[in-house]
């Protein structure tokens, strides 16, 4: 199957949402931008670094690639509208795997009413995915990392530590049925997309997607806002299945909760006294100073850094 055959096969499996006025097939797509502004983010996923094909199906990888970008848009308080995708694949990639990848991206987009609007495909030595997501702010200002002020609440929504625990189980060859939920979380995150625009409407002063670990990402808010963040570890839930996995691997489950990021939870800062829905958990406060403290101690550099 040649390049155009592959592209036609991919586009034939996609559906287009209301924000895509002109989808794949021309030199560029055309999107509606009701707000007059567009939130844009991009991520690169490389085989062997961000996923392994012997651990994850094409469908899982498609959903994960879409999810981590859609979550970044939601973290700005925007509603995701579309993805464009650059794809590099080896020449011997099975067509069924490519179909599954496409279906995964399409189905993850469907969770938020977005769609894949276009992209490009090339031959490569391994699978590489470059995904760009776009979103609509709905007339609201973007929620950046720089608005936190001392005395405000720090809250999270979504899962923490699940994906990190699942990765540790896979690396240890301990991905048994007992820990299926954790392993599945590594393969396919479940970001709380709708909570991002909700946080903006509730008056969030700062927000981000927890992609590299709670401590490290809260450190980005602290640095951008010129403040400190104090986290109460007792406020961080550690489910029994994670405790059991930690016991099996000789690990501390709190390390996964504080340092694992690929669940793509959202962390946000709210004015003191804000009445938060049940989906949000207050885990700490913004304080004077800098950096992140956990139980009153400097947290160090927990989390993922590609160049460390």
CATH code of 67's domain: 3.30.1330.10
pLDDT digits (tens, 9 = 90+) for 22-50: 988 888 989 999 999 999 999 999 999 99
Q: Indicate if 96 and 218 belong to the same structural domain.
A: no
pLDDT at 125 over 50: yes
Q: Which residues are annotated as a binding site for substrate?
A: 50, 262, 304
Look at residue 146 and tell me if it is in a domain.
Answer: no
Beta strands 265-270 and 20-22, pairing class: unpaired
In the beta sheet, which residues pair with residue 130?
44, 86
Q: Which residues contact 250 (CB under 8 A, 6 or more apart)?
A: none
Residues 202-222 have a mean pLDDT of: 97
Q: Which residues are annotated as a binding site?
A: 27, 41-43, 50, 72, 119-120, 145, 209, 211-212, 262, 304
Look at residue 11 and tell me if it is in a domain.
Answer: yes
pLDDT for res 256: 97
pLDDT at 7 over 70: no
pLDDT for res 13: 78
Look at residue 158 and tell me if it is in a domain.
Answer: yes
State which residues form the domain around 93: 3-136
Phi/psi at 147 (5° precision): -100, 5
Look at residue 59 and tell me if it is in a domain.
Answer: yes
Q: Which residues are annotated as a binding site for Mg(2+)?
A: 27, 41-43, 72, 120, 209, 212
Q: Indicate if 40 and 128 belong to the same structural domain.
A: yes
Distances from the Cα of 20 to the Cα of 17, 114, 178, 248, angstroms: 6, 9, 42, 48
pLDDT for res 308: 44
What's the token pair of residue 12? Answer: 């034939």
Average pLDDT across the chain, whole number: 93
Look at residue 280 and tell me if it is in a domain.
Answer: yes
Q: Indicate if 159 and 232 belong to the same structural domain.
A: yes
Q: Which residues are annotated as a binding site for ATP?
A: 119-120, 145, 211
Look at residue 242 and tell me if it is in a domain.
Answer: yes
What percentage of the chain has pLDDT greater than the value 90? 86
State whether residue 80 is helix, strand or coil.
strand
The structural domain count of the chain equals: 2
């Amino acid at each position: 199957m040649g390049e155009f055959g592959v592209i036609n096969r991919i586009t034939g499996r996609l559906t287009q949402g209301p924000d895509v006025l002109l989808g794949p097939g021309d030199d560029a797509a055309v999107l509606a931008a009701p707000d007059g502004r567009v939130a844009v983010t991009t991520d690169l996923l490389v085989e062997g670094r961000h996923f392994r094909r012997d651990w994850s199906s094409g469908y899982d990888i498609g959903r994960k690639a879409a999810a981590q970008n859609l979550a970044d848009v939601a973290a700005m308080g925007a509603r995701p509208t579309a993805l464009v995708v650059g794809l590099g694949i080896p020449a011997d990639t099975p067509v069924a795997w490519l179909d599954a990848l496409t279906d995964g991206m399409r189905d993850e987009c469907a969770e938020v009413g977005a769609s894949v609007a276009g992209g490009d495909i090339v031959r490569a030595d391994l699978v590489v995915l470059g995904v760009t997501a776009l979103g609509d702010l709905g007339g609201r200002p973007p929620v950046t990392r720089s608005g936190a002020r001392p005395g405000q609440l720090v809250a999270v929504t979504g899962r923490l530590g699940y994906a990190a625990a699942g990765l540790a189980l896979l690396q240890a060859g301990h991905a048994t049925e007992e820990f299926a939920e954790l392993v599945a979380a590594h393969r396919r995150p479940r970001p709380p997309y709708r909570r991002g625009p909700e946080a903006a409407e509730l008056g969030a002063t700062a927000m981000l997607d927890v992609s590299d670990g709670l401590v490290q990402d809260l450190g980005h808010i602290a640095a951008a806002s010129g403040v400190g963040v104090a986290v109460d570890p007792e406020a961080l839930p550690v489910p029994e299945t994670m405790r059991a996995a930690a016991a099996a691997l000789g690990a501390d489950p709190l390390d996964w909760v504080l340092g694992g990021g690929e669940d793509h939870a959202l962390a946000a800062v709210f004015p003191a006294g804000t009445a938060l829905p049940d989906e949000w958990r207050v885990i700490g406060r913004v304080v004077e100073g800098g950096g992140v403290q956990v139980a009153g101690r400097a947290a160090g550099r927990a989390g993922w850094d590609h160049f460390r």
